[in-house]
């Protein structure tokens, strides 16, 4: 009989994002074990009970409400805990609150001997990914922020609707801060292999830059619109975290737009920011350096500087 390593994912924070991730992870069968950790133990227990009642409808998974001791054997720790973004509040407004929360979380995780990969989803995700890397002492490739994985998905969805094609055949990225200084990389955006810029140049096609820029604004501002209507966003980011988890546990070498530490890539260093990166069982294998247009380069540098100014003050 062949031996297979048991995979374990620990989720810290059983709120909207953490529980949505757990539900999506169960549906997709991404791991053998899933442990939920929350200051509110009863909330974590209730979520675990509810999820376990769905196990008969999918592949076997062991789910329980645990403690930080359970992270010792985890392959991945996903941190979704922290103060939420409220109506009218930017992600950067959350810095001081959540850095203090993360100091306690990261210390508790590392104190039990955790030696896996940490995924950070709490906002401001780029700043908190940087803080987690510094606090944990892990190699930078093993601390990954969700970055612009959701921004990119939002743009791909909107472009798929605009061009009337399957979103999986839209290849476009948003890079930079997961926030107000993010930017679309139009110079590499394509539909099924054809550059979007070619569609704009085509006199027989309806595509135009005004429409496309408005789609980007919709993608960038989506969180504000959703929070205004339902107080929080969680399904999209939960799906993005499941995708990241799959890429790691299945050693995929998948290219995803995540928040990673730049070490001279794009001419920058000592900053976590959203860029395409190759993700596998070891974490981030390498950053994919896209040749940016001069305008994109200027906007990206501005986004990096905003992040650097905040992280250097930590």
What are the residue numbers of the active site? 178
Instruction: Give the pair of three-digit tokens for residue 142.
Output: 């093993």
Task: Tell me the torsion sign for CA atoms 113, 116, 117, 122.
Answer: negative
Task: Tell me the torsion sign for CA atoms 265, 266, 269, 274.
Answer: negative
Interatomic CA distance for residues 160 and 232, integer angstroms:
24
Instruction: Give the pair of three-digit tokens for residue 215.
Output: 């789609």
Interatomic CA distance for residues 80 and 86, integer angstroms:
16
Q: Are 278 and 253 in contact, with CB atoms under 8 Å apart?
A: yes
For the chain, the straight-line distance linking the first and the last C-alpha, in angstroms and rounded, comes to 51
Q: Are 240 and 78 in contact, with CB atoms under 8 Å apart?
A: no
């Amino acid at each position: 009989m062949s031996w297979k390593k048991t995979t374990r994912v620990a989720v810290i924070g059983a709120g909207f994002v953490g529980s949505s991730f757990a539900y999506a992870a169960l549906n997709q069968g991404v791991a053998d074990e899933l442990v939920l950790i929350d200051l509110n133990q009863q909330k974590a227990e209730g979520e675990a009970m509810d999820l376990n009642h769905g196990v008969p409808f999918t592949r076997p998974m062991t789910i329980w409400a645990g403690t930080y001791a359970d992270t010792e054997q985890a392959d991945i720790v996903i941190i979704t805990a922290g103060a939420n973004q409220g109506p009218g509040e930017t992600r950067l407004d959350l810095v001081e609150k959540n850095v203090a929360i993360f100091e306690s979380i990261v210390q508790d995780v590392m104190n039990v001997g955790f030696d896996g990969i940490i995924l950070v989803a709490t906002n401001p995700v780029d700043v908190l990914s940087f803080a987690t890397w510094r606090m944990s002492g892990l190699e930078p490739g093993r601390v990954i922020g969700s970055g612009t994985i959701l921004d990119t998905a939002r743009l791909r969805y909107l472009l798929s609707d605009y061009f009337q094609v399957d979103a999986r055949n839209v290849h476009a990225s948003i890079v930079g801060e997961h926030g107000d200084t993010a930017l679309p990389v139009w110079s590499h955006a394509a539909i099924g292999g054809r550059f979007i810029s070619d569609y704009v140049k085509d006199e027989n096609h309806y595509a135009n830059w005004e429409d496309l820029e408005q789609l980007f604004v919709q993608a960038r501002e989506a969180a504000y619109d959703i929070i205004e209507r339902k107080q929080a966003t969680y399904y999209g980011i939960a799906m993005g975290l499941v995708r990241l988890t799959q890429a790691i546990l299945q050693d995929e070498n998948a290219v995803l737009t995540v928040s990673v530490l730049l070490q001279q890539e794009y001419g920058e260093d000592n900053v976590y920011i959203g860029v395409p990166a190759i993700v596998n069982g070891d974490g981030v294998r390498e950053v994919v350096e896209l040749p940016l247009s001069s305008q994109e380069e200027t906007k990206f540098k501005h986004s990096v500087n905003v992040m650097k100014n905040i992280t250097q003050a930590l």
